């Protein structure tokens, strides 16, 4: 059961939308939403049944936790104004690639709550299946973040800022780059009058396999078989798509290299 702590959401994008809904459903008291964009702020606030503001001067000063979910480029410039007048609260960001210590010159109590998941407003997220990584500058703060994360998922881990940067980079490979491969696949199929939906069973089985096999052991295809005839044919077919041709060569070489060196 969540403790009676008042939370302000700073940001109203994809992460804020899902985390805001999640923490409220878990029993935490969300009291306000801030976003400099009125449309985003009002949409999320309406969903949660709380007021919204578009000026940091109007953010309430008596909350217990300020959960800051904004773009990395905006976070550091926002921090002094978020903390000002609220110095006794716990300040938390959710960024995978930003260190915890971005808070240290302004806040006394701070930490990180990093949900390693891809978020889109149009898709529901089952937080029970999401891994959360927490870090804080003190033991009491860490316990609060563990409690907050545990109210959403039983997959809660401590990770340092340095470890989290590797988590984030690994997630870019596993999620963002993989999805870009889907987009390139869709391009090639649609260009030749074929539906991308035909790939979905293959994509699903590829994802299922790595639940039981190390990804290296699950690898299939012409590169791992060293099938030069097939790869050369594919490269010929990509003659009019030089960028895709280079990607094909680079990825194939990486697969072959990984197999030789078992990295």
Torsion angle defined by CA atoms of residues 70, 161, 165 and 95, in that order, rounded to the nearest 10 degrees: -10
**Orientation of helix 38-48 relative to helix 14-25, angle to 10°:** 20
Q: What is the mean pLDDT of residues 75-97?
A: 94
Question: At the topology level of CATH, where does 6-159 sit?
Answer: Rossmann fold (3.40.50)
Residue % of the chain over a pLDDT of 90: 87
The confidence score (pLDDT) of residue 229 equals 96
1.10.3720.10, 3.40.50.2000, 1.10.1040.20, 3.50.50.60: CATH of 165-261: 1.10.1040.20
Q: Which residue has the higher pLDDT, 118 or 40?
A: 40
Taking alpha carbons only, the member of 62, 61, 172, 67 closest to residue 111 is 67
C-alpha distances (whole Å) from 34 to each of 79, 93, 229, 259 are 13, 14, 57, 49
Averaged pLDDT for residues 151-175: 94
Q: Where in the chain is the domain with CATH 1.10.1040.20?
A: 165-261
Single pTM value for the model: 0.83
Nearest to 214 by CA among 157, 149, 248, 259: 259
| Bridge-based pairing state of the strands 109-116 and 131-136 | antiparallel
Domain with CATH 3.40.50.720 in the chain: 6-159
Q: How far, in Å, CA of 17 to CA of 249, rounded?
A: 39
């Amino acid at each position: 059961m969540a403790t009676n702590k008042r939370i302000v959401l700073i940001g109203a994008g994809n992460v804020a939308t899902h985390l805001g809904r999640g923490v409220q459903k878990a029993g935490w008291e969300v009291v306000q939403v801030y976003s400099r964009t009125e449309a985003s702020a009002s949409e999320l606030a309406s969903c949660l049944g709380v007021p919204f503001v578009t000026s940091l001067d109007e953010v309430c000063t008596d909350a217990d936790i300020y959960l800051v979910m904004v773009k990395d480029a905006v976070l550091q410039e926002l921090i002094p104004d978020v903390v000002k007048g609220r110095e006794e609260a716990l300040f938390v960001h959710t960024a995978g690639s930003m260190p915890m210590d971005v808070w240290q010159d302004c806040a006394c109590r701070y930490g990180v709550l990093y949900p390693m998941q891809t978020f889109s407003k149009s898709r529901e997220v089952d937080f029970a299946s999401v891994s959360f990584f927490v870090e804080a500058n003190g033991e009491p703060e860490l316990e609060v973040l563990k409690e907050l994360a545990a109210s959403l998922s039983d997959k809660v881990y401590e990770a340092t800022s340095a470890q989290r940067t590797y988590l984030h980079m690994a997630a870019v490979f596993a999620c963002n780059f993989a999805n870009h491969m889907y987009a390139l696949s869709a391009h090639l199929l649609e260009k030749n009058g074929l539906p991308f939906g035909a790939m979905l069973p293959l994509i699903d089985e590829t994802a299922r396999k790595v639940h039981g096999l190390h990804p290296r052991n699950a690898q299939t295809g012409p590169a791992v078989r060293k099938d030069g005839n097939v790869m050369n044919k594919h490269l010929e077919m990509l003659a009019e798509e030089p960028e895709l041709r280079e990607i094909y060569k680079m990825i194939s070489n990486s697969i072959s290299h990984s197999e030789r060196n078992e990295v």
